[in-house]
Structure 1
Amino acid sequence: MSDVTRLPLALVLLVISLLLVAFELMFQMLYIGPVPVPLGTVIVVVSLPWLIHTTATEILPTPAGAAAPLVVWFAAVLVLGFFGPGGDLLLPVNWESLLLLVAGAVTGVVSFRRALDRLADGRNDRRVTR
């Protein structure tokens, strides 16, 4: 993949990361009757490792490329969660919010570490040619 196509694809993945944060925050406080169903946690556990893996192997095979989705996820959760639209708090102080933050942090850091190990071992077949 040439450098010309890498940047737009990286930007698309970062926009997808932002949109997924919005969906995670919307579905985190989901209730079915009186039972809380934190669906946002399921979304983050599935989507964040995929974003990190795809960015680190396909788009930007560098440590910065592997860290980009995780950094965008943390920044977006903080901005959208605590300073939501119209002053609404999308991330209230309860166990569902803590679950979302911990699940995102753990899966993101583990996926980032695996991507770094993969880059260090040279198992990444698609390297950037300059």
Structure 2
Amino acid sequence: MTVRNWLVLAVLVVDAALLALLELLFLPLRFDGYLLPYALGGMHVPLSAVVAALTTPWLVSVAGRLSQGLLVAAAPLIAWLLVVAVFGMFGPGGDLVLTADWRAMLLFACGALPSAIALGRVLATTLAAPR
């Protein structure tokens, strides 16, 4: 890999970590009249899971185009998982950011599963490519 590819990979990993942090912080978002208007009886809005489902697989696929290595392609996914797990359990000041409810499971499912599928697609294309 060239120096440019290493820099792009570093930006992708930092981007995955920042996105995971923002997705965690906005996970309890709901229509309660504070940030969003009061509507639908204060219903939860898991927009973080939608953002995770769209951005994390994209980061994995872009990282997979940089090199044919498994760790290079999986680096954004690993960074995302580490930030969600560590910051979610041991948040700022010891707060528990990742609550034990359906929104946490939805965030993990929407972030990790499509990214694992994208990682499998990257691996299938690199293994099928002639050497």
2:10 aligns with 11
1:50 aligns with 58
> Aligned partners of 1:107, 1:89: CA distance in 2, in Å?
26
1:69-123 alpha-carbon deviations (Å, 9 max, x no partner)? 1111111111110010111111011110111112222112111111111111228
Amino acid across the alignment from 1:25: L
TM-score, normalised relative to structure 1: 0.87
Amino acid across the alignment from 2:29: L
Task: Among all aligned residue pairs of Structure 1 and Structure 2, give the percentage whose two residues are the same amino acid.
Answer: 34
Matched positions, count: 121
* 1:35 equivalent among 35, 43, 48: 43
> 5+ residue gaps in structure 1?
124-130
1:10 touches 1:60 (CA, 8 Å); kept in 2?
no
1:70 aligns with 77
Alignment of 1:46-125 (within 5 A): 46-57=54-65, 59-122=66-129
Amino acid across the alignment from 1:17: A
> Aligned partners of 1:108, 1:5: CA distance in 2, in Å?
24
> 5+ residue gaps in structure 2?
33-41
1:9-52 alpha-carbon deviations (Å, 9 max, x no partner)? 11111000110001111121110131100111001100011000
> Which stretches of structure 1, 4 residues or more, deviate above 4 A after TM superposition?
none
> Aligned partners of 2:64, 2:77: CA distance in 1, in Å?
11
